[in-house]
Amino acid sequence: MHPSVCAEPLREFKFAWHGVAANGKLQRGTVVAQNLAAAQRTLRDSNIVALRIEPRGRAPQPRLSAPQVTQFSRQLAGLLHAGLPLLQALELIAGSHTQAAVKRLVGTIAADIARGIRFSAALSRYPKSFGTLYCQLLQLGEASGALTTVLTRLADERERVAAQQAKLRAALTYPLCVLLFAVALTAALMVFVVPAFQQIFAGVGAQLPAPTRIVLAISAIASRYAVPGAAGVLAGAVLFQAGLRRYSSWRDWLDRQALKPPVIGTLFTQLAVARWSRALATLLQAGTPLADAFDTLREASGNRVFDAATRQIGIQVRQGQRLAAAMASCRCFPGAVVQAIAVAEETGALAVMLADLAALHERQVEECIAKLSSLAEPVMIIVLGMLVGGLVVAMYLPIIQLGNAI
């Protein structure tokens, strides 16, 4: 039996320690190691004399962030390209890295490699850090002897996706922040400024204009319920966030709603199609059979609607249905994409067409983000001007009328 199948994963435990540092001061902390001897060795390497070490149970599995995975892929590809063996490259990364999570995880993977476990199998034990697509591509790279090339492509692709996500976040965050600022400013005027005008208008005794009466009524409600309202909004946001983490049906609903707005929905659809097409094209170009590729694509799109469609497409393709027909039955892919896939199936150029579709939709995403960024500033200025300007006009309208009467 292959070692990667029969070998058990290495267990790591947490140890609490009290000791003396190199400067002579007493210190305490925790260290993660496979056993007590390894914990003592780690402290000794850090120039700490351990006075007491106590086990604290099994350590949780380390988890790398997306930038850390990208950096690891780039570093490992560079070391392999320089001619280092895989085990030596992993040990070098683990020994030289300053981040504890990376040092621990890469060190464990290196120990697995030393025991004879395949690299992709060792990575698959950390699904929260390395996704199914990542491990599948590395497995194909191992089988074909092109591990360095695959790691380089993965690093390039992850860097490109990260840059695209950063642009998307910037395009959506800026108008949201300006809108929240406008709402907060309007609420502050309603609570602290408008009541002063109300006292002035109370001594006039004349009939106030309708806009002024509306603003005064809103100000009275805001002054009375400002604190409970803010607390309710904050509690609702916290509960909604907790519900998204706990209930998958909430995340499904949120992803469905994200695809519905006219501009934002089109942007998210194009982004999901680009990721899905790029991932499937990469798998097909690496030699994965079409029927087997959809198990790897379960979370490739970044949208749960498309992920559910991927599972359904995989079932239909394995039953003998054409890919284009299966995609059309899901009703989430644009018609132009389905037609292009149908043509590619007839000509036998499915992988090439998927790569072209991915490139096309990535350009469309870039263009849409650029348009959102260019339109966000004037739209937010108009919204802010209408809120504040309308409030100022409503407050000064009685004063202007009174001056005209005099």
pLDDT band at 212 (very low <50, low <70, confident <90, very high): confident
At the topology level of CATH, where does 3-58 sit? Answer: Ubiquitin-like (UB roll) (3.10.20)
What was the pLDDT predicted at 2? Answer: 41
Using CA atoms, how far residue 383 sits from 89, 168, 216, 376, 387, in Å, is 55, 22, 21, 11, 6
For residues 316 and 329, the answer to whether their CB atoms sit within 8 Å is: yes
Q: Burial letters for 367-399: b for 16+ Cβ neighbours within 10 Å, e otherwise?
A: ebbeebbeebeeebeeebeebeeebeebbebbe
Is 66-159 assigned to CATH 3.60.140.10?
no
- Distance set, CA 137 to CA 130, 157, 240, 356 (Å): 11, 12, 36, 20
DSSP 59: P
Averaged pLDDT of the chain:
85
Tell me the mean pLDDT in the region 120-124.
91
CA–CA dist 13, 60 (Å, integer)? 8
- Indicate the pLDDT class of residue 203, thresholds 50, 70 and 90: low
How confident is the model over 369-392, as a mean pLDDT? 81
Task: Give the global pTM.
Answer: 0.74
Please report, for the chain, the start and end positions of each structural domain, with discontinuous segments joined by +.
3-58, 66-159, 173-406
Distance of CA 55 to the CA centre of its chain: 35
Residue-wise pLDDT tens digits, 225-277: 878 888 898 899 899 888 888 888 888 999 999 999 888 889 899 999 999 99
CATH topology of domain 173-406: Receptor-associated Protein (1.20.81)
Q: Do domains 66-159 and 173-406 have the same CATH topology?
A: yes
> For residue 8, is pLDDT > 70?
no
Let me know: does 388 contact 183? Beta carbons within 8 Å: no
pLDDT value, residue 19: 86
Checking if the pLDDT of 30 tops 50, the result is yes
